[in-house]
């Protein structure tokens, strides 16, 4: 790192960007190298310029701040700045350096900057915002998944997902249009998807309830689900219990 934090601001509201720049001008630890007014522009600039720090809004046109993070090749320190408190727990899951709730004060912003500066100086990337999020409500379930495939970005509505298969550190997402690989865990999707619509039937499978056509026993205490397209998936004992809970049988 240079003597200053090379910083990019990703914020769709011009007044919010201007206020942030005004506050940051009073810090000798920050050099603003770019401003972006939407998520796609943010992805491009972050991957090209490789900043130390990004100030990131969450609710923006086109893609959200969280979806932006999924598309990054370069991984800078992230400080979220948003008007919504319900995203704080998810921000922590993304290892955010800090979470600023609008309207924030100049002192609060500079405190976050100093924290990142000290963290990078110590080469310590461990998240430390837990003390700031304890009283925030948890965010609702996701309604879309963003997948980067070479030079294309696919935005997949959750309604289009049929089932998800575990593949080590990746998952394969099977949709009504095809399939896509993503570097995420099954645990992430189990927590992020609405449990009334998706059920974990096996350590390797999460299935959309509406895709299930039949549950069939093939050995003693062993079951499979058969989807509408005739796909057959194994069901574990825990998965069978999950199915009983969701389908009430």
Q: Which CATH class is domain 5-133?
A: alpha beta
pLDDT along the chain (249 residues), means of 10: 88 96 96 95 94 96 90 92 89 87 95 92 55 48 84 88 92 95 90 93 97 92 94 95 93
Q: Which residues of 85-113 are buried (b: 16+ CB within 10 A; e: fewer)?
A: eebbbbbbeeebbbbbbeebeeeebbebb
User: So what's the pLDDT on residue 132?
Assistant: 45
**Which of 43, 105, 99, 101 is closest to 74 using CA atoms?**
43
The CATH fold assigned to 144-247 is: OB fold (Dihydrolipoamide Acetyltransferase, E2P) (2.40.50)
Strands (E), 14-108: 30-36, 53-56, 77-82, 98-101
Domain ranges of the chain: 5-133, 144-247
- 210 DSSP 8-state letter: G
Alpha helix stretches (DSSP H) within 71-185: 88-93, 106-121, 130-133
Model pLDDT for residues 19-52, shown as the tens digit of each residue: 999 999 999 999 999 999 999 999 999 999 999 9
75: which 2 tokens?
A: 């991984």
Rounded Cα–Cα distance for residues 238 and 78 (Å): 38
| Phi, psi for 98 (deg, rounded to 5) | -165, 170
Residue 43: both structure tokens together: 């992805």
pLDDT per position as a tens digit, 70-93: 888 888 999 999 998 888 888 877
């Amino acid at each position: 790192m240079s003597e200053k934090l090379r910083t990019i601001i990703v914020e769709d509201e011009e007044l919010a960007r201007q206020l942030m720049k005004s506050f940051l001008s009073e810090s000798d630890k920050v050099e603003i190298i770019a401003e972006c007014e939407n998520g796609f522009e943010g992805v491009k600039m972050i991957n090209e310029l490789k900043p130390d720090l990004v100030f990131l809004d969450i609710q923006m046109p086109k893609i959200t701040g969280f979806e932006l993070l999924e598309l990054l090749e370069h991984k800078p320190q992230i400080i979220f700045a948003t008007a919504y408190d319900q995203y704080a727990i998810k921000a922590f899951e993304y290892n955010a350096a800090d979470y600023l709730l609008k309207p924030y004060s100049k002192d609060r912003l500079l405190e976050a900057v100093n924290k990142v500066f000290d963290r990078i100086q110590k080469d310590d990337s461990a998240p430390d915002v837990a003390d700031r999020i304890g009283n925030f409500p948890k965010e609702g379930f996701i309604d879309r998944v963003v997948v980067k495939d070479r030079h294309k970005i696919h935005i997949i509505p959750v309604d289009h997902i049929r089932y998800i298969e575990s593949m080590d550190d990746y998952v394969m997402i099977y949709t009504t249009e095809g399939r896509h690989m993503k570097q995420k865990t099954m645990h992430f999707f189990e927590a992020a998807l609405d449990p009334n619509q998706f059920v974990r039937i096996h350590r390797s499978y999460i299935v959309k309830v509406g895709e299930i056509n039949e549950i069939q026993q093939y050995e003693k205490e062993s079951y499979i689900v058969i989807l509408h397209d005739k796909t057959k998936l194994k069901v574990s004992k825990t998965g069978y219990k999950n199915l009983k809970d969701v389908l009430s049988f």
